[in-house]
Structures are given as structure tokens and as C-alpha cells.
Structure 1
Amino acid sequence: MISTNVEHRYLAALTRPASGPAGTPRGRAGYSFLQRYWASLTRYRLPEGPAVFDPADAATNGDDAAGPAVDLSSRIPLRQRLPLHSVRGDDLREAEEMADNLVDVARQLYETTSSRALPPPSGWREYFETREARRVRALQVSDQASEVLLAIEELYLYLSGFFESIPASLQTAFEELGLTQIHGRDHLAAFVDASISSYTSPEKLPRLASVLTAWCIRLHLTLHEIEEVLTDLRGADLREANLQDVDLDGLRWSVETQWPPDWHERIIRMSVPSGPEEFKIVGNNGNDHERADATLLPRR
């Protein structure tokens, strides 16, 4: 009877998880002696569970991928906004959708790497099951990383014409923000390099996936901000502009905006108030005077 109790206590000591008191070294709490012994033999670093990062916060709060703040409105002069919007507005909106898809793909990669790490096995059967599970997860990470790379390449290929038409100062802004194609490749390369050594350093992957996702979010937000700048015509002098066949929907203007003489009343009929002495064009047909609910302004 005594022998049986001793055997039971010894077996329990080998297999029960460590309690994890204060000061316990990282990666020991929650694992049995056999699991920790297996990890010591294989040099596997037992994770406590991946740290939780919010890529959206990283994209806006100065994380590694966020880059410095840049005033994009100062990089696009008022006189260039309407021509750029007319020529590249549709391309920019399509690029925003592609960037949104890039964010989704990167988030999937982040979620996969952030899922709870597989614990080391406590027996031979668990060893082979864990090994297979790790293989499946590694293939999933590889496929998702390939999707991120493909999405980056397709987006910047689509944006090539846009970059050729924007002012040099705006091109420089992408460099300053760290949002060029090279920057995207570098973030992905850092993740891939870490994934190769993830067997011994699994805690690196969630962090690098978070940085990569934050970079994708920042790119999407920047493209959206550029579209907002291109539609901001408050105070612009457009008296010489040719508005025929131009998509005016979504343009924002103010009482200081100067339109071609024969377009003033038509612009009023297409607009709705959006702020004090500010308006937004909501259509191109010029028949929305009642919906605009705005009095005709004096010509300037």
C-alpha cells in the first residue's frame, strides 16, 4: 500500500503542471516535469502564451510600422487636387479596396500566429500528434505569408501609374512614412526569417505579424487620407477649371471656393451643407436643389 502511494505521488510529480509561483522563470508555469524535461532536451522554449498586440493601435500609436506623422494635405497643392482626382480618383478608390483586402490577409496571418502555442507532448503519442499539428500550422502560416506577399505586389503594381502622376513631395511622403513597396517586403521578410527559427523562438512571430499588419493598416489609412485630401477643394480657385465630364461626386468646398461662372448655381444644386459655410457635392445631375437645402451664394 505504501509502495503504491509512493508510486502515485512520484507519477503525479512528473506529470502535474507546475504551479507557477511568483518569480517562476518564463515558460515553466502550466507545464509538467516531463514536458519541461522534453523542452530542455530539444531546446524548445516553452511559451507562456503569445503576447496580445492590437495591430490597429500599432498603426496609429507610433509602433514600429507606424512611422512619423506627415501632413499629406500640405503635399498636394489646391490647384492640383481636382486634376488628380479627375484622372486618378477611381484608381485610388480601387487601391483602397485592394489595401483593405491586404489588411484582411495580414490579420489572418496575425491571428494564426497569435493562437495559443502548442504545448510540448507528455508522451510518445502526443509527441507525434503535436509534431503533425505544428507541421499543419507551419503550412498554414506559409500559405498566408505568400498571400500577403502577393497582395502587396499586386497593390503596388496597380499603384504604379498613380505614383507617376502625383507630386514629388507626395512620393517623398511615402518614403518618410515607411510605406513603400520595399518597406512592405522588408516587414514580411523579417516575419519569414523569424518563422524559420520559430521552433526555438515562437514568441517572435506574433510580434512581427502584428508589426506587418500595422504596416498594412497604415498603408490603407494613408490611401484613404490622400483621397480625402484630393476631394478637399475648400478655398480653391477653380474659375479656369474645365468641369465637363468630371466626376464631382464627393467633392468638398466652401464659400471661399471659386467655381467657373456658368457652374456656380449648378454646384449649389448638387451640394448639401457639411459644416459652417462648407458643402459637399452629392451628385452629378444638378437637380438636387431641394435636397441641398442651401441658399445660393454670391459669385466670387
Structure 2
Amino acid sequence: MRDDQASERLEDLLARAHQQLGIAVHDGLMGSGGPPELRDPDQMLGRLLAAAHRQTGDAVAGRLARRGRRAPRERGVSGTAAPSERLLMRPASVRLKYREQALDCARRYWPLDAVGVIGDAVRTVQEVIAKLEEEMLPDAARGRLQQVSSGLGQVLALPPPANLQPPLSGFDYVEEVEDFLATCAWRLVTATRRSKQLLDNELVLHFCTPEFSWLGALEVSQDLADDLDLAYREALSLSRAVTVVEDASTDFRGADLESADLDGVDLEGIRWDVSTEWPAHWQERIWRASLAVDSGQGELIVGAEPRDSTVAVDI
């Protein structure tokens, strides 16, 4: 067969294959209700990216939520001690002496569950995005977004960062606790304020205008979701910082407190074990005021009032 005949044969086969493929595609489309609605390519790309972003955000939020407040502490880079580790390295007698001030500071910076508040905001905005991708107006969207704004406003009421200047010898313990928490709170407030401004000044307005723009509302919602993701991570960071302060002010297992001055110190809630060394004249009183914790590790916790009998020694 000559080359020109072979080429013609190949072209004829390709033409018939193309024709048969066209018939199959046409029959498939008509059998499923007709050709799909043509859409703007940019809009389609935006929808695909939005769907991928939402699915990724759901996975990340779920993973972080499962970790909870008491997530493993992260170490600092370059071998340096992270702030949480520096707090725990302070002498036990110092942490005990200033535990009330440290716990008061932790309560000031965690007056509400910021993780829960921002987590609810993230879920609400993701639901709005899902509806907008389907070009469906979310039910009572404006009211739900205003509730989100109100919750973010509560987060913005956190204490402003204090302008602490460390002396040459460094922060004392209470100042270090304050600086540690204030730094995390400042990042959270900054991210939350940016989210609230975008929500109030742009997204809510889309639901108030007569000429509603699906694409405009979707783009703003996606930007808001990104900002809220950052705020959620900062809320988790502050939550972990509060947990670190609480642990440093409560966990005295194995600590040497033999020379500590316990007069006037609120010991209720302190966790300790048989390796904790107490002042000699406080030992019996501590034992009588403590209850064993069912942890399997010989842990005890100091109660509010002395007990009628001491805890068994073989805990």
C-alpha cells in the first residue's frame, strides 16, 4: 500500500471514530437531560477552588478540634526554649508563690471560649460559601452573619497588650506570664479584627443591596474564610498558652517545696505526688487536705479543707 493510500485510510478511520464519538456524547447528554448550562470559565474555576478550600478547611478544623486545648506543647526553633518551657523551668517555689496572680492573669486572657466562638464563625461562613456556590441564597444569612459579628466582638474585648519592658535581669515571673499571654492575645485580636471588618464592611452589605451579586458575595466569603482560619489558629495558640500557665501553676509533682513559704498561699487544686517535698511542719496538713486522683500514677490533689483521715501511703 502506498504512503498516500495509507494516509487516506488513517484519516478515514479517524473521521469515522470522531463521528461515532460525537453520536455517543450527544446520546449521553440528551439521555441525562440535555446539554449542561454554559458557565463563565473564571466562575467555574472560582467554584472549584472554593470547593477545594472548603473541604481542606473542614479537614484541618476537624483535626485541630480533635487535638483540643491540651495539645502537645511545641518546642522553639534553633534549640532555644519556647516560652511555655521557660515558664515551667522557673523554680517550683516561685511558681507556687505567684500562682494566684498567674491564674488570675490566665482567667483575664481567657474569659470566654474563643476557640468555640471562632470555630462557630468558621462553620457558618463555610455553610454560606456552600450555598453561594450553588447560587442559593442562604436562609437568614444576614442574621446569622450578624451573630458571627457579635461573637467576634466578644473576642475583641480581650485585654490589650501591656507595654512590658524587661529589666536587665529579665522579666520576673508574673511579668513573664503576662507577656506570654498578651503576645498570643494580641495576635488573636489582630486576626479577629481583620475578620470582623471584612464581615461588617463588605460581606453583610452584599446581603443588604437590592442587586445581589453571587460572585461578589462568594469572593468576599472566601476571603473571610481565610481570615477566620488564621484567627482560629491564633485562638488555639492562646488556649494552649493559658493551659501552659495553668499547668505551671498547678502541677507540682516531684517538686522541691521544702523551703517554700506556704503561709497565705492558696494550695487548693495543686497536683502533687509522693516525690513532692513539702516543708516538714506542713506535711501532715497537706496529706489530710489531699485526695488521690484516679490516674494510676500516684497523683494527689489538694482539696479545700483538711480531711478527717490522711490518704493511704501506698497510693
TM range, normalised to the smaller chain? 0.5 to 0.7
Alpha-carbon shift at residue 112 of structure 1 (Å): 0.6
Matches of 2:34 and 2:235, distance apart in 1: 48
Cα pair distance change 1:171/1:285, threshold 3 Å: closer
* Paired positions, count: 245
Q: Which residue of 1 aligns with 2:247?
A: 228
Matches of 2:192 and 2:297, distance apart in 1: 46
Cα pair distance change 1:258/1:203, threshold 3 Å: same
Alpha-carbon shift at residue 288 of structure 1 (Å): 5.0
- Aligned-partner SS, 1:280: strand
1:252 aligned onto 2:258 = no
Matches of 1:68 and 1:235, distance apart in 2: 22
Match of 1:54, as an amino acid? V
- Aligned-partner SS, 1:45: helix
Q: Which residue of 2 aligns with 1:285?
A: 305
Q: Deviations over 1:218-268 (max 9, x none)?
A: 312321221111112232335341334x33222123445333332111111
Unaligned runs of 5+ in 2: 1-28, 77-81, 163-170, 203-215
- Aligned-partner SS, 1:237: coil
Cα pair distance change 1:43/1:90, threshold 3 Å: same
Cα pair distance change 1:44/1:120, threshold 3 Å: farther
Percentage of matched positions with identical amino acids: 16
Instruction: From 214, 220, 242, give the equivalent of 2:262.
Output: 242
Alpha-carbon shift at residue 81 of structure 1 (Å): 1.2
8 Å CA contact 2:118, 2:228 repeated in 1:
yes
Matches of 1:190 and 1:68, distance apart in 2: 29
Give the alignment's Cα RMSD to 1 decimal: 4.3
Q: Which residue of 2 aligns with 1:57?
A: 63
- Aligned-partner SS, 2:257: coil
1:144 aligned onto 2:157 = no
Alpha-carbon shift at residue 43 of structure 1 (Å): 9.7
Match of 1:147, as an amino acid? G
Q: Which residue of 1 aligns with 2:46?
A: 45
Alpha-carbon shift at residue 79 of structure 1 (Å): 2.3
Matches of 1:152 and 1:165, distance apart in 2: 28
Q: Which residue of 2 aligns with 1:187?
A: 191
Q: TM-score, normalised by structure 2?
A: 0.60
Alignment of 1:1-300 (within 5 A): 12-13=33-34, 16=36, 32-33=37-38, 36-37=39-40, 45-47=46-48, 49=51, 50-51=54-55, 52-55=58-61, 57-58=63-64, 69=76, 70=82, 72-76=84-88, 77=90, 78-89=92-103, 92-93=106-107, 96=110, 98-100=111-113, 102-115=114-127, 116-119=130-133, 121=135, 130=136, 133=137, 136-138=140-142, 140-153=144-157, 155-156=158-159, 166-174=173-181, 179-181=184-186, 183-192=187-196, 196=202, 198-200=217-219, 202-233=221-252, 234-244=254-264, 246-273=265-292, 279-287=299-307, 289-290=309-310, 292-294=311-313
8 Å CA contact 1:56, 1:214 repeated in 2:
no
User: Which has the larger Rg?
Assistant: 2
- Aligned-partner SS, 2:300: strand
- Aligned-partner SS, 2:284: helix
Matches of 1:200 and 1:149, distance apart in 2: 23
8 Å CA contact 2:47, 2:133 repeated in 1:
yes
Cα pair distance change 1:168/1:240, threshold 3 Å: closer
Matches of 1:254 and 1:67, distance apart in 2: 26
Matches of 2:257 and 2:59, distance apart in 1: 46
Cα pair distance change 1:282/1:256, threshold 3 Å: closer
Cα pair distance change 1:13/1:295, threshold 3 Å: closer
Matches of 1:174 and 1:93, distance apart in 2: 10
Cα pair distance change 1:81/1:56, threshold 3 Å: farther
Alpha-carbon shift at residue 13 of structure 1 (Å): 3.9
Q: TM-score, normalised by structure 1?
A: 0.62
Q: Deviations over 1:131-164 (max 9, x none)?
A: xx369535533441342132232x326x97xxx9
Matches of 2:45 and 2:220, distance apart in 1: 8
Unaligned runs of 5+ in 1: 1-7, 17-31, 122-129
8 Å CA contact 2:198, 2:224 repeated in 1:
yes
